[in-house]
Structure 1
């Protein structure tokens, strides 16, 4: 499992993440969750093992060709949503209220009640 996480973590960079958000332009409903993961990843209090899992999750989402390629409308994002949900469950204790505040600052009407 760690081998797969580190494989996908290689595809994550802050620049690629921002470009991914720019390309999707709100086409996916879990952008607030992605931002929460991003802010948790940037937090110095987050343990390195958790950061690796979060980087792996973001790398998986950024990569256009994964288990179900994102070129298939709707269905292509289901596996990405599942990976994000698993990453949030894994790192839930490390996602702080200030991370969610930053998400609300970027997306004012974002629901952060997961």
Structure 2
């Protein structure tokens, strides 16, 4: 996946687009996370990004970038099908890594604490 495609995916979008993405992410994040947890090398960051994206105190641009990346993560059809073992989530990892770089420092300690609590409640999920 090249940088141009990732850049297009990570566009924050208009408010209506962000709202649509947030609904999709809230609905599909946990089932997708359970399938990906062993293939995504940064599960804690991923869960913290989810909590950051749905936090109304997060700046709009940051929420938009994270919601775009998380919407791509939960999208059932993407460039590399997620059902392919070992490589299925590689494109998702690339998009998420780019999103984390774009919003560097915006995921707060409170988001990480919530991630730790959640992952502790759902080991292997």
**Native 8 Å contact 1:35 1:103 kept in 2:** yes
Structure 1 residue aligned with 2:38 = 27
TM-score, normalized by length of structure 1? 0.76
CA distance in 2: counterparts of 1:81 and 1:25, whole angstroms: 10
* Two-structure CA RMSD over aligned residues (Å): 2.6
Is 1:46 matched up with 2:54? no
The alignment's TM-score, normalised by the length of structure 2, stands at 0.70
SS in 2 for 1:76: coil
Which residue pairs with 2:112 in the alignment?
Answer: 100
In 1, Cα distance between equivalents of 2:54 and 2:70: 13
Instruction: Report the alpha carbon displacement of residue 40 of structure 1 after superposing the two structures with TM.
Output: 0.7
Report if aligned partners of 1:64, 1:71 keep a CA contact under 8 Å in 2: no
Runs of 4 or more consecutive aligned structure 1 residues displaced over 6 Å after TM superposition: none
State the aligned residue count: 107
SS in 1 for 2:24: coil
**Structure 2 residues without counterparts, runs of 5 or longer:** 1-6, 121-125
